[in-house]
Amino acid sequence: GNSVTQMEGPVTLSEEAFLTINCTYTATGYPSLFWYVQYPGEGLQLLLKATKADDKGSNKGFEATYRKETTSFHLEKGSVQVSDSAVYFCALSLRRETSGSRLTFGEGTQLTVNP
Amino acid sequence: IAGITQAPTSQILAAGRRMTLRCTQDMRHNAMYWYRQDLGLGLRLIHYSNTAGTTGKGEVPDGYSVSRANTDDFPLTLASAVPSQTSVYFCASSPLGAPYNEQFFGPGTRLTVL
């Protein structure tokens, strides 16, 4: 079956620190990979995505590279801000152009950035 | 309406009662989904619908039912609520056939079953 494993949290950093949140996956087939972010009291929002091996997704200073050889999609940001405090979810979806998407999520990683 | 709306925002419910969570989207997306979010477990798919008139079971469907009478609405019903159904419920939608399979989420319903 399909599964996503994220590094255990919570993660607490100081402002301007470097962030890495690890994500690995298992899948039958060739999945699309996503990072979603959930700010306090809100629903999930797509942060970035990658659809094939070696693709790099990026948005708002965050980056993640689809690594097929290590089945990983680690999230990185060079300098975090207090406003980045949120829960981050790694997810995969098998490419299904006619039957809709079925997202499989990791457990989520709580990030707190202190000023 | 812009995007996905859910109602109610939160609810406290006695065990054994029936409850329907509402979800409406105005993006004309074909596919819709219901997830539950529990601490340490991420989001788990309850039911989904690829298009109006069809539904399917997700990872944790027991105790829940859905219907999809039209494109915009996708209600989730708990026929007889139990405390283990205490959770935050998220509705989502996506355009069928989108190659990147991005989903758009509502703000969630926080349900407590006592």
pLDDT one-digit tens code per residue, B12-28: 999 999 999 999 999 99
Triad A103, A107, A109: Cα angle to 5° = 115
Decide if B5 touches A, using CB distance below 8 A.
no
Q: Which of A4, A103, A108 sits opposite B103 (nearest CB)?
A: A103
Question: What SS3 state is found at A83?
Answer: helix
Triad A10, A40, A51: Cα angle to 5° = 75
- Looking at residue B68, what DSSP letter applies? -
The pLDDT tens digits for A54-94 are 999 999 999 999 999 999 999 999 999 999 999 999 999 87
Q: Which of A32, A44, A107 sits opposite B101 (nearest CB)?
A: A32
Answer whether A49 sits within 8 Å of B102, measured CB to CB.
yes
**Chain B residue with minimal CA distance to A52?**
B100
Name chain A contacts of B58, Cβ cutoff 8 Å. Answer: 102
Q: How close A16 comes to chain B (CA, Å)?
A: 27
Give residue A36's pLDDT: 96
CA distances, A36 to each of A40, A92, B81, B113, B114 (Å): 13, 11, 29, 28, 31
- Looking at residue B8, what DSSP letter applies? -
- Work out whether the CA dihedral A65, A77, A85, A111 comes out positive or negative: positive
**Chain A residue with minimal CA distance to B104?**
A45
Nearest to A40 by CA among A86, A90, A103, A107: A86
Answer whether A98 sits within 8 Å of B97, measured CB to CB.
yes
- How many C-beta atoms surround the C-beta of residue B24 within 10 A? 19
Give residue A74's pLDDT: 98
Could you give the CA distance from residue A47 to residue B6 in angstroms, rounded to a whole number?
22
Q: Say if residues B92 and B106 touch (Cβ distance below 8 Å).
A: yes
Could you give the CA distance from residue B96 to residue A55 in angstroms, rounded to a whole number?
23
The pLDDT tens digits for A24-33 are 999 888 889 9
Give residue B14's pLDDT: 97
Give residue A93's pLDDT: 87
When scoring B5, B34, B43 by the number of chain A Cβ atoms within 10 A, the one with the most, hence best to mutate, is B43
For the CA atoms of B23, B27, B31, B34, the dihedral, rounded to the nearest 10 degrees, stands at -30
Q: In chain A, pLDDT over 90 holds for what percent of residues?
A: 74
Give residue A94's pLDDT: 78
Give residue A1's pLDDT: 76
Give residue B73's pLDDT: 97
**Chain B residue with minimal CA distance to A87?**
B42
**Chain Cα centroid distance, residue A87:** 10
Name chain B contacts of A99, Cβ cutoff 8 Å. Answer: 50, 96
The pLDDT tens digits for B64-113 are 999 999 999 999 999 999 999 999 999 999 887 665 668 899 999 999 99
CA distances, B16 to each of A2, B13, B63, B83 (Å): 34, 9, 11, 9
